[in-house]
Structure 1
Amino acid sequence: MTDKIRVEVAYARPDRQWLLTVDLPQGGTALEAVKASGILADCPELSAETLKLGVFGKSVKPDAALRPQDRVEIYRPLLADPKEVRRQRAEAGKKMKKGV
């Protein structure tokens, strides 16, 4: 049995994507994987203290333990609140129906 696990770290911006493979000790965390990937140096907009992370689409805390072959995803902040956008579309649709 090996004492290392291999995981991926994924991050995407509109202009570029990263998918980096890192080896961590057993019990390594999501934040450790991000730091080991070196992506924080490549992307100055990322801060280790404020990262929103997930594993295969499920939100996790930075101290979440990883398993072999996990993919740690770094999430960007939302540009718009989805609930507000839906509300605005619904309002626009009501206005269009009244005008027809």
Structure 2
Amino acid sequence: MAEIAVEVAFALPECQRVVALRVPLGTTADEAVALADLPGRFPYVPSEAFTGNDLGVFGKRLREPSSHRLRAGDRVELYRPLTMDPKAARLIRATDNKR
């Protein structure tokens, strides 16, 4: 069976990991995330942090990660939920910079 090389990326504020994989042709984004074994690579992160999140390929969010077939060289990115509204974060930074 033909295989392709892909990557799965996950980042925390303090570290990131990009996992290189060889997967069968026709592997979906969801399947690649499962094959990357992120809970085993981040044992201090609750396992539910790796399920149900948005996925993207090279910064473009996937609408249907369970049916998106990967191509050779794709990097699947697992997005964490936002902890703060980006507008509120910019306002806080702008206020802090004026002091």
TM superposition score category, shorter chain reference? 0.7 to 0.9
Q: Which residue of 1 aligns with 2:58?
A: 56
Name the one with the larger strand percent: 1
Question: Higher relative contact order by CA 8 Å / sep ≥ 6: 1 or 2?
Answer: 2
Give me the TM-score of the superposition, normalised by structure 1: 0.74
- Matches of 2:50 and 2:80 in 1, distance apart? 11
Q: Which among 26, 47, 51 is matched to residue 50 of structure 2? A: 47
Structure 1 residue aligned with 2:83? 79
**Matching residue's letter, 1:30:** A
1:35 corresponds in structure 2 to: 34
Could you tell me how far apart the structure 2 residues matched to 1:65 and 1:16 are? 28
Q: Deviations over 1:5-43 (max 9, x none)?
A: 110011110121101101111110111111111113333
Any unmatched runs of 5+ in structure 1?
94-100
Q: Following the alignment from structure 1 to structure 2, what is the Cα–Cα distance between the partners of residues 79 and 25?
A: 35
From the CA coordinates, give the structure whose radius of gyration is larger. Answer: 1
Q: How does 1:4-15 map to 2 (within 5 A)?
A: 4-15=3-14
1:98 aligned partner = none
CA-based RMSD: 2.3
Distance (whole Å) between structure 1 residues aligned to residue 84 and residue 53 of structure 2: 18
Letter in 1 for 2:10: Y
Regions of 4+ moved over 6 Å: none
The share of aligned pairs that are identical, in percent, is: 41
Query: 1:62 is aligned with what amino acid?
Result: P
